[in-house]
A and B are shown apart, each in its own frame.
Chain A
Amino acid sequence: MGSINFITLFVVIPLGTAFLMSLVGRFASRRYVSILSVLSCASLLFVSFWALQFLNKTAGNILVYKIGGWMPPFGICFVVDSLTSFMLVLVNTVAFFVCVYSVSYVKKNDDAPKFFTLFFMMLTGINGVVITGDLFNLYVFLEAASIASYALVAFNSEAEELEASFKYTIIGCVASGFILLGIAFLYSYTSTLNMADMSSILATKSSGFVLPFVATLFITGFGLKAALVPFHAWLPDAHSSAPASISAMLSGVLIKTLGIYAMLRILFNIFGIIPVYLSLFMFLGVLSLLVSGVLALSQWNLKRLLAYSSIGQVGYIILGIGIGTPLGILGALFHLFQHSISKSLLFLTSGSIDRAANTLDIRHMSGLKEKMPLTAGANLAGSMSVSGIPPFGGFFSKLIIIVACVQKGFYIYALAAILGSVFTLIAMLKVQKFIFSEETKKEHKDIKKVPFLMQFSMVCLAFICLFAGLLLLPSTRIFFTNAAGVLLGGLNYGHLVLEAAAK
């Protein structure tokens, strides 16, 4: 038991940092704020790789940590399986680079301690959602992550940011309301809150009307959080108004853990794999792809364009999940991975561009390539990866999803996926053409240099984008296939967790 105590660090490190940050920010100089935040992000990254390593050595690929020593149905437990460790590595990698970027991005701002406090609060919530094995606890940490993100969207306190934040908060509250209602129904039906226990109880119950109703509530709630198309209206406002590094976190990690991960965990591993939801997922995914693709084309604000493209890429992930074959889910998870990396990279570059050109309207920029070659290169890598050009990771993930579609005979969906990819490519080419190519405008002559730390994190993320395809080689693919295996295992999750807990 003692050796797996490190699992608690995923919550304790960011939470402790958040609490300490407000003290450090008041008493010590600004340098310590930066050092503390980078150190704790780095240690989180280390712990997440450690967990991955530890998991591979454990029999059964599952770790259960009993908080307070209470057995699972009675207390809360942490569950680390392949899907969890995959998400943890992803989240903490992105968070580390975003944190390094933010250190110099908010350097001039007097309220950097508040910024980092909220940033770590959000990270606590995200890690907590991923790692928990208890349904109500998932709700609590989902709210923790959300409330920090609402405040971060309004961080600059300008009129637009406040408006976006209000919309985002209200929509988030409605989503949480639906989720809590669903949890209440499930609690009354099964009389337990532990996800593993719940799944084994639900497997024995005869099919009633409760499960479809609760599933509808959850799909609405988590769909609102993940911004699937009928529920997407808040996302472009919120993601384009936040500070650039926060947009990177929101688009790269937050909507994927709070929306997609939580929804998949509940619908696949508690309710079991039900074909109706799968076809609903595919439909919603394709709808998101096409609608957001068309809407992204008409945008002239760089961050809004990127935000709309995020909706479409989430659609890809949901489409891949909805196919339901091992190949489809593998593709979806790989797409989730590479989209997190590339979209956070793109938002980070948008932050540097905003700093340099003082505008986000792409019609007012041109020829920035000469002045900021590294940013241009990083942006090119991210754009190509998102739109799926061969050597980059995005190509492989989209290819896998489309092949899985064709294998199962969904030709129309495959066609729609290709069409969506073309839309993304056009939007990204628009960005490249207007911002980086052509001659440099007069007002861009005296552009400040991008600080080293910002360049460092952009270049690192660009390299990950470039070589993400290599992760599909057989030796590292096991990382993704194990994670897909957890989802495909369905109700098996309950037995595995309860067995591991009894040990």
Chain B
Amino acid sequence: MILYLLCLILFCIGLYGILRKRNLVKIIIGFSIMSYALNLFLVLLGYKFHGRAPIGASDQNIANMVDPLPQALVHTSIVIGLGMTALLIAIAIRIYEKYGTFDITKINKLKG
């Protein structure tokens, strides 16, 4: 239970970074922390005490494995996070080229 809560605190830190920081790179970092927290949360949900990794062994029959399904989901989620982060960095670099800064208070051509 405490592990879940610690994980959600990590999620909140990422959210705080996204919503409150004024630097594009810090915002991207906040996003990656948020996705780390989500991935960890999913894997925590599938952990089983004294479970083995979900890989079969040729010489013995393993009865007690951890849940492989959340791991498969996290596998997908990690790759999605990688794609998002790379896209965000690309956009941030182009913004830097155009505006000459990473500070979002100075990036304000759109109004209304």
User: Footprint of B on A, CB under 8 Å?
Assistant: 136, 140, 143, 147, 150-151, 154, 157-160, 162-166, 169-170, 173-174, 177, 180-181, 184, 187-188, 193, 236-237, 241, 298-299, 301, 304
Interface residues on B, range: 35 or more
Residue B80 interfacial (CB < 8 Å): yes
Interface mask (B76-103 → A, CB under 8 Å = 1, otherwise 0)? 1100100110011001101100110000
Specify which of B27, B34, B76, B95 is in contact with A140 (CB 8 Å cutoff): B76
Residue B62 interfacial (CB < 8 Å): no
Asked if residues B95 and A166 are in contact (CB atoms below 8 Å), the reply is yes
**What's the Cα separation between A174 and B33 when bound, in Å?**
12
Asked if residues A188 and B45 are in contact (CB atoms below 8 Å), the reply is yes
Residue B109 interfacial (CB < 8 Å): yes
* Interface hub of A158, A165, A170 (most chain B Cβ within 10 A): A170
Asked if residues A177 and B35 are in contact (CB atoms below 8 Å), the reply is yes
Give, as a whole number of angstroms, the nearest-CB distance from B95 to chain A: 5
Specify which of A151, A160, A188 is in contact with B110 (CB 8 Å cutoff): A160
Task: Give 15 A-B contacts (CB < 8 Å), ordered by A residue.
Answer: A136-B76, A140-B76, A150-B87, A160-B109, A162-B94, A163-B108, A163-B110, A166-B95, A173-B18, A173-B34, A177-B34, A184-B41, A184-B42, A188-B45, A299-B112
Give, as a whole number of angstroms, the nearest-CB distance from B66 to chain A: 14
Give, as a whole number of angstroms, the nearest-CB distance from B33 to chain A: 11
Label chain A's interface by main secondary structure: helix
* Residues in chain B near residue A157, CB distance under 8 A: 94
Give, as a whole number of angstroms, the nearest-CB distance from B69 to chain A: 8
**What's the Cα separation between A166 and B28 when bound, in Å?**
10
* Residues in chain B near residue A188, CB distance under 8 A: 45
Give, as a whole number of angstroms, the nearest-CB distance from B71 to chain A: 12
Specify which of A169, A173, A241 is in contact with B91 (CB 8 Å cutoff): A169
Q: A136-B73, A173-B31 are in contact. Are A166 and B91 (CB under 8 A)?
A: yes
**What's the Cα separation between A232 and B17 when bound, in Å?**
20
* Residues in chain A near residue B70, CB distance under 8 A: 184, 187
> Across the two chains, which residue of chain A brings its CB closest to B94?
A162
Residue B53 interfacial (CB < 8 Å): no
* 10 shortest interchain CB distances as A-B pairs: A159-B98, A188-B45, A237-B110, A162-B95, A166-B91, A184-B42, A160-B109, A162-B94, A177-B34, A173-B31
Specify which of B27, B69, B77, B109 is in contact with A159 (CB 8 Å cutoff): B109
Q: A136-B73, A173-B18 are in contact. Are A166 and B88 (CB under 8 A)?
A: yes
* Residues in chain A near residue B14, CB distance under 8 A: 177
Asked if residues B87 and A151 are in contact (CB atoms below 8 Å), the reply is yes
* Residues in chain A near residue B13, CB distance under 8 A: none
* Residues in chain A near residue B35, CB distance under 8 A: 177
Specify which of A147, A160, A163, A164 is in contact with B83 (CB 8 Å cutoff): A147
Q: A170-B27, A174-B15 are in contact. Are A241 and B110 (CB under 8 A)?
A: yes
Specify which of B34, B80, B95 is in contact with A163 (CB 8 Å cutoff): B95
* Residues in chain B near residue A173, CB distance under 8 A: 18, 31, 34, 84, 88
* Residues in chain B near residue A158, CB distance under 8 A: 98
Give, as a whole number of angstroms, the nearest-CB distance from A226 to chain B: 19
Asked if residues B109 and A147 are in contact (CB atoms below 8 Å), the reply is no
**What's the Cα separation between A143 and B109 when bound, in Å?**
28
Q: A166-B88, A169-B88 are in contact. Are A181 and B112 (CB under 8 A)?
A: no
Apart from A158-B98, A173-B88, 11 more pairs, CB < 8 Å: A140-B76, A143-B84, A150-B87, A159-B95, A159-B98, A160-B109, A160-B110, A163-B110, A166-B88, A181-B11, A299-B112
* Residues in chain A near residue B29, CB distance under 8 A: none
Specify which of B41, B45, B87 is in contact with A147 (CB 8 Å cutoff): B87
**What's the Cα separation between A136 and B42 when bound, in Å?**
12
**What's the Cα separation between A143 and B99 when bound, in Å?**
29
Specify which of B27, B45, B83, B112 is in contact with A184 (CB 8 Å cutoff): B45
Give, as a whole number of angstroms, the nearest-CB distance from B94 to chain A: 5
Q: A170-B27, A237-B110, A241-B110 are in contact. Are A154 and B38 (CB under 8 A)?
A: no
> Across the two chains, which residue of chain B brings its CB closest to A181?
B38
Residues of B12-49 contacting chain A, CB below 8 A = 14-15, 18-19, 24, 27, 31, 34-35, 38, 41-42, 45
Q: A140-B76, A147-B87, A166-B95 are in contact. Are A236 and B24 (CB under 8 A)?
A: no
Asked if residues A177 and B38 are in contact (CB atoms below 8 Å), the reply is yes
> Across the two chains, which residue of chain B brings its CB closest to A143?
B80
